[in-house]
Amino acid sequence: MTTTVCTSTMLAISDLTVRFRLPGAIVHAVTAISLTVAPGELLAVVGESGCGKSVLAHALLGLLPANATVSGTALLHGDGAPVDLLAADEKTMARTVRGRRVGLVPQSPATALTPVRTGRHLLQETLRAHSRARTDAETVAAGVGLAPADLDLYPHELSGGMAQRLATALALAPDPPLLLADEPTSGLDRPLVDATLDLLRARCDDGAAVILITHDLAAAERVADTVAVMYASRIVEHRPALEFFAGPRHPYAHALLDALPDRSFAPIPGHPPMLTDLPAGCAFAPRCPYASIDCGTQPSRDRGVACHHPMGARL
């Protein structure tokens, strides 16, 4: 983990909200998210399954299905005028943003990989499309632990872990200044988990920004500069990683860390709420040992924590 992050902004997300229309219900998938990411920063977005992490990434890449409604802004800075990723038309996203300025390691690589081409073909095609034809596909593959012979296999011949590594190589090949990595270590054994995380860290140390979406808090602790904890579609805590892991302040974040085997190994009681039926106030209140009548209203975020009763304040 490093704490040397540039102070300029690469991505500024403000009030990002995503709703899905279903027959007879609205899914509150992402609610009022505001975050900034700087060049050189590795931001880990953590939270339990279904809290909205992948939808956040897909919204930033214009990859949401037709039943989604998106509001807010997400300004991507770089050469020239900033681009609002939530307002840009599909042509702009396809030609200048996706893959080129913002890379994605998808959560389900097996379904994202074109089935009729070998890994080598896919990598060479990606490198050519991004004017990096001189870069050797085998060198890029070696960076994620794939051997030259692995590149001659078709996606259906790859194990889950190999497909995951190929997807990471494809996302890294264009050298995007911002990378969204959605559970990039799932299906990998520990040495490859660590190697993948270190690869992402090295990108940040070279000046790129990475948003690492993960439910693996140990992974976040290993490489993140900053941590954002999502619960029921909202960010409930967003702080520098060193401070966060030393003392989480939102009761949910505290409970998440306490559930780790190398900490108290205490499960969080109850279940997350349905995103079609969220309470008006804090969504964690029904599971929170510190809930009070105040929690019937939505807390504002103060010094990185959205809670009426943040942990430090009680100590």
Ligand X SMILES: Nc1ncnc2c1ncn2[C@@H]1O[C@H](COP(=O)(O)OP(=O)(O)OP(=O)(O)O)[C@@H](O)[C@H]1O
Site track 61-100 with ligand X (rule: CB under 6 A), x = hit: ----x-x---------------------------------
**Inter-helix orientation angle 160-172/190-205, to 10°:** 10
Q: Supply φ then ψ for residue 79, to 5 degrees.
A: -65, 135
CB distance 226 to 3 below 8 Å? no
Task: State the first-to-last Cα distance of the chain, in angstroms, to the nearest integer.
Answer: 27
The Cα 57–Cα 314 span in angstroms is 34
- By beta-carbon proximity to ligand X, the closer residue of 68 and 88 is 68
Structure tokens that stand for 143 in this block: 């960076």
- By beta-carbon proximity to ligand X, the closer residue of 51 and 217 is 51
Site for ligand X in 272-301 (CB under 6 A): 275
Q: Within 13 Å and on the Cβ side, how many CA atoms surround 160? A: 9
The alpha-helical segments, DSSP class H, found in the chain are: 53-60, 90-92, 109-112, 119-129, 137-143, 160-172, 190-205, 217-223, 241-246, 251-258, 311-314
CB atoms within 10 A of CB 130: 16
Smallest distance from ligand X to CB 233, Å: 7
The Cα 212–Cα 249 span in angstroms is 21
Out of 10, 17, 37, 52, the only residue in the binding site for ligand X (CB under 6 A) is: 52
Q: What angle (nearest 5°) sits at the alpha carbon of residue 57, between those of residues 51 and 63? A: 115
- By beta-carbon proximity to ligand X, the closer residue of 14 and 108 is 108
Out of 5, 10, 29, 33, the only residue in the binding site for ligand X (CB under 6 A) is: 29
Is 27 a binder of ligand X (CB under 6 A)? yes
The Cα 80–Cα 121 span in angstroms is 33
Is 214 a binder of ligand X (CB under 6 A)? no
Smallest distance from ligand X to CB 254, Å: 19
Structure tokens that stand for 51 in this block: 């809290």
Is 22 a binder of ligand X (CB under 6 A)? yes
- By beta-carbon proximity to ligand X, the closer residue of 146 and 213 is 213
- By beta-carbon proximity to ligand X, the closer residue of 220 and 275 is 275
Stretch that binds ligand X, among 22-30, 108-116, 196-204, 295-303 (CB under 6 A): 22-30
| Residue 49: Cβ-neighbour burial (10 angstroms; 0-12, 13-18, 19+) | exposed
Out of 35, 51, 122, 170, the only residue in the binding site for ligand X (CB under 6 A) is: 51
Is 19 a binder of ligand X (CB under 6 A)? no
Site track 125-164 with ligand X (rule: CB under 6 A), x = hit: ----------------------------------------
Site track 162-201 with ligand X (rule: CB under 6 A), x = hit: ----------------------------------------
Q: What angle (nearest 5°) sits at the alpha carbon of residue 201, between those of residues 195 and 204? A: 150
CB distance 304 to 239 below 8 Å? yes
Smallest distance from ligand X to CB 161, Å: 18
Stretch that binds ligand X, among 53-61, 128-136, 246-254, 290-298 (CB under 6 A): 53-61
Site for ligand X in 31-50 (CB under 6 A): 47, 49-50
Q: Give the binding site for ligand X (CB under 6 A).
A: 20, 22, 27, 29, 47, 49-55, 65, 67, 275
